[in-house]
């Protein structure tokens, strides 16, 4: 007897109530573009749609759903929601990847379909700038301007992405491609992610059999954070799925398109609607932010040339909920004093440190060093997330941390499930042998957990921790772990990740001499987060402090006003209830100490409109 339900009987998982437009998007059987502002629940919509398609058999076995996201954490978050709500059965039929990971998976799987002259070595590394530079200079590139390595790397990345396949080896760029594809006596094979996407696109352009196989595999395709899609990524999706029977759902928000500097296609919404005959659905709810903060966001619509939309807020908020402040100070000593005391007050009122975020436009160290020190005086931890954010997204990091937590506390259900799922996947435990093999692996796991727990008690040095991590990896089999993630097989990437986990975890343990506390600190449970606006996309916090609302931070505003306005919009849309902006006349750690707000005065005019923000003026 079938376990599927009729479309009319389906209801959202976990008792969630969705707005009518969201239900329409979930049940749509045509290509659609879902335009959804901040806090509208874009990821939630895709997770619910996957559940709908599986439970109603609209995505019939053995077909799958492919979800492609711009950011790695978005891809993983979506996958986790599916498995949590609908179990591993459906999770195995839901492929969630970034554009880069999807392109790489396809290239690694089908690279033999390329003709020999356009086929990369199976041993290629990812984006080795040193090898790329050597290839350019070996092929005759002249660096007349004596550019810095950083600028050269940007130039070479752009040049490598400009090639048209198949390569003929007839000009400098094509000769460089040839060296990077195959390597030479002095150069190891190395590909950028843009090169990988171009090669993958060419595979499907030139091989209808593979393209049709891909289309038959995935009955539905989700495109998350669609506003940040680049030309190369859009061409890949277009090649793979245009005019196919696969149903495409693209989700995004033009107001949050802040990746133009990275090549985001500015007309991607219009192009998608035209090329894929897609209809447009707009979500009208903001489930995240308090009404006063939502009102500020709505005032930005006209500035961003967006049609005004009657955004509704959650019923959980009082009508006048939300606090917005504009802090004006003479120097960063006064600024750090005010912000650190305000953050301390928020924590005293019950907000957890991890629910507070300090945002900057760029170069966090130039804006927050004094705030970090002042917070430390009040025994509040704060850290710049740049070195942690990407590391904590890695599956090997999660596995090592979960394993150590489980060794310390066997009653950790989430960690046990994560570790056992990894074992099941690595050992290839199927349904037919599940009971006997599962029991055996449980016993083996218990033994190694006991050993790790005892060794953790006597750790005296980083070398001891290194040996413990090595034993954990050996238990799982390093080669099998690498095989689960294609990027881990490239060069020394995997080893560098493990070494970084070891280094940062040891740093935390040295400070507290307690493994539970060290792990909490490592994953950021007890810290106020500090990050750039770009790194904050997709995240939300109870309280946001934007430090440096100044011309010096928005130094390129005159050349890219639209992108900087969207960056400002993203900043104000991360906050749930509390939002503070700070302007400092004299900033001691920036290249130009005297700050102004002449170029970005429109932001100040917006905040200073009656009823928008409370102005805290400490300059008098």
For 382, the token pair is: 């704060």
**Burial class of residue 463, CB neighbours in 10 A (0-12, 13-18, 19+):** exposed
Residue 64, annotated ligand binder? no
Residue 40, annotated ligand binder? yes
- Pairwise CA distance, residues 273 & 269, whole Å: 6
Looking from the CA of 435 toward its CB, the CA atoms found within 13 Å total 1
- Pairwise CA distance, residues 197 & 188, whole Å: 20
Residue 374, annotated ligand binder? no
Peptide bond just before 160 cis, omega within 30 deg: no
Residue 389, phi-psi category: left (phi > 0), alpha (psi -120 to 50), beta (remainder): alpha
Residue 315, annotated ligand binder? no
- Pairwise CA distance, residues 20 & 403, whole Å: 43
Between strands 279-282 and 285-286, the pairing is unpaired
Angstrom distances, CA of residue 315 to CA of 16, 288, 290, 508, 530: 13, 11, 10, 41, 30
Contacts of 147 (CB under 8 A, 6+ apart): 155
Compute how many other C-beta atoms are within 10 angstroms of the C-beta atom of residue 352: 12
DSSP structural state of residue 513: S
Residue 524, annotated ligand binder? no
Residue 42, annotated ligand binder? yes
Q: Where would I find the H helices in 461-580?
A: 462-476, 478-484, 493-512, 515-522, 533-536, 561-572
Is 335 within 8 Å of 327 (Cβ atoms)?
yes
DSSP structural state of residue 305: T
- Pairwise CA distance, residues 464 & 457, whole Å: 11
Closest among 292, 300, 275 to 37, alpha carbons compared = 300
Residue 36, annotated ligand binder? yes
For 476, the token pair is: 């799982």
The H or E element containing residue 328 is: strand 323-331
Residue 41, annotated ligand binder? yes
The annotation places the binding site at: 36-43
The annotation places the binding site for ATP at: 36-43
């Amino acid at each position: 007897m079938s376990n599927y339900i009729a479309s009319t009987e389906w209801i959202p998982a976990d008792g969630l109530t969705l707005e009518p437009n969201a239900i329409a998007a979930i049940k749509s059987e045509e290509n659609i573009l879902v335009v959804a502002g901040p806090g509208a629940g874009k990821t939630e919509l895709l997770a619910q749609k996957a559940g709908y398609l599986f439970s109603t058999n609209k995505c019939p076995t053995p077909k799958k759903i492919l979800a492609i996201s711009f950011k790695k954490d978005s891809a993983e978050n979506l996958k986790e929601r599916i498995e949590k709500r609908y179990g591993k059965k459906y999770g195995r039929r839901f492929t969630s990847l970034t554009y880069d990971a999807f392109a790489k998976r396809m290239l690694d799987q089908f690279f033999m379909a390329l003709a020999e002259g356009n086929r990369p070595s199976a041993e290629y590394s990812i984006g080795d700038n040193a090898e790329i530079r050597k290839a350019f200079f070996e092929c005759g590139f002249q660096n007349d301007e004596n550019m810095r390595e950083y600028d050269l790397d940007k130039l070479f990345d752009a040049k490598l992405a400009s090639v048209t396949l198949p390569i003929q080896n007839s000009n400098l760029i094509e000769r460089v491609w040839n060296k990077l594809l195959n390597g030479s006596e002095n150069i190891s094979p190395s590909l950028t992610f843009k090169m990988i996407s171009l090669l993958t696109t060419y595979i499907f352009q030139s091989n209808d059999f593979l393209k049709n196989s891909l289309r038959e595999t995935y009955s539905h395709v989700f495109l998350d954070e669609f506003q940040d899609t680049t030309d190369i990524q859009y061409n890949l999706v277009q090649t793979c799925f245009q005019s196919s029977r696969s149903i495409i759902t693209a989700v995004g928000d033009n107001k949050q398109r802040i990746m133009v500097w990275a090549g985001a296609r500015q007309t991607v919404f219009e192009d998608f609607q035209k090329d894929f005959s897609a209809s447009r659905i707009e979500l009208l709810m903001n489930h995240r932010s308090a009404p006063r903060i939502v009102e500020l966001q709505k005032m930005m619509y006209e500035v961003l040339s967006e049609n005004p939309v009657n955004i509704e807020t959650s019923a959980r908020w009082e009508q006048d909920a939300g606090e917005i402040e504009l802090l004006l100070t003479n120097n960063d000593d006064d600024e750090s004093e005010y912000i650190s005391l305000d953050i301390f007050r928020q924590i005293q009122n019950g907000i957890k440190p991890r629910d507070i975020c300090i945002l900057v436009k760029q170069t966090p160290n130039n804006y927050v060093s004094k705030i970090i020190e002042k917070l430390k005086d009040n025994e509040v931890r704060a850290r710049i997330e740049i070195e942690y954010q990407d590391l904590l997204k890695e599956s090997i990091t999660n596995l090592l941390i979960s394993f150590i937590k489980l060794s310390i506390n066997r009653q950790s259900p989430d960690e046990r499930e994560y570790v056992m799922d990894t074992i099941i996947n690595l050992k290839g435990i199927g349904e037919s042998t599940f009971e006997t093999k599962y029991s055996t692996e449980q016993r083996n796991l218990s033994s190694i957990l006991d050993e790790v727990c005892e060794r953790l008690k006597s750790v005296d040095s980083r070398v001891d921790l290194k040996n413990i991590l090595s034993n954990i990896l050996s238990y799982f089999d390093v080669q099998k772990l690498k095989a689960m993630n294609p990027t881990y097989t490239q060069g020394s990437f995997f080893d560098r990740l493990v070494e970084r986990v070891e280094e940062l975890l040891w740093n935390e343990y040295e400070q507290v001499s307690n493994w539970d506390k060290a792990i909490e600190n490592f994953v950021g449970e007890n810290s106020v987060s500090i990050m750039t606006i770009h790194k904050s996309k997709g995240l939300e916090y109870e309280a946001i402090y934007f430090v440096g609302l100044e011309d010096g931070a928005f130094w390129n505003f005159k050349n890219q006003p639209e992108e900087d306005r969207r960056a400002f919009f993203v900043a104000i849309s991360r906050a749930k209830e509390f939002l503070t902006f700070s302007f400092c006349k004299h900033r001691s750690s920036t290249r130009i100490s005297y700050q102004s707000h002449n170029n970005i005065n429109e932001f100040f005019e917006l905040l200073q409109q009656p009823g928008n923000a409370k102005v805290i003026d400490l300059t008098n």
